[in-house]
């Protein structure tokens, strides 16, 4: 999706798109960390990572909904 925004000359959203792409990378890394802590049976760390993931995801969705998608409309 971000490629289409980047390729469209009507959008000047470099900062938002860069931020969202960085979030996606962070989410992938966090999921990998969660899988590792689960396999290590470190449930306290898993819970901490899941809580952080949820908070970050909610913030990310808000940026998409409130900024990116409203601009796209």
Which residues span the domain enclosing 35?
11-72
Report the pLDDT value the prediction gives residue 47, as an integer from 0 to 100.
98
Residue 39 is assigned to a structural domain of this protein? yes
Rounded-to-integer distance, Cα 40 and Cα 60, Å: 28
CA atoms within 13 A on the CB side of 35: 6
| Number of domains the chain is built from | 1
- Contact indicator for 38, 46 with CB cutoff of 8 Å: yes
Per-residue pLDDT tens over the stretch 44-54: 999 999 999 99
Per-residue pLDDT tens over the stretch 17-70: 888 899 999 999 999 999 999 999 999 999 999 999 999 999 999 988 887 777
Sign of the C-alpha dihedral, residues 15, 56, 27, 72? negative
- Contact indicator for 39, 54 with CB cutoff of 8 Å: no
């Amino acid at each position: 999706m971000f490629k289409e925004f980047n390729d469209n000359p009507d959008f000047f959203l470099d900062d938002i798109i860069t931020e969202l792409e960085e979030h996606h990378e962070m989410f992938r890394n966090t999921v990998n960390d969660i899988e590792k802590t689960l396999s290590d049976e470190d449930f306290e760390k898993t819970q901490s990572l899941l809580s952080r993931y949820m908070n970050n995801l909610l913030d990310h969705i808000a940026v998409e909904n409130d900024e990116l998608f409203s601009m796209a409309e």
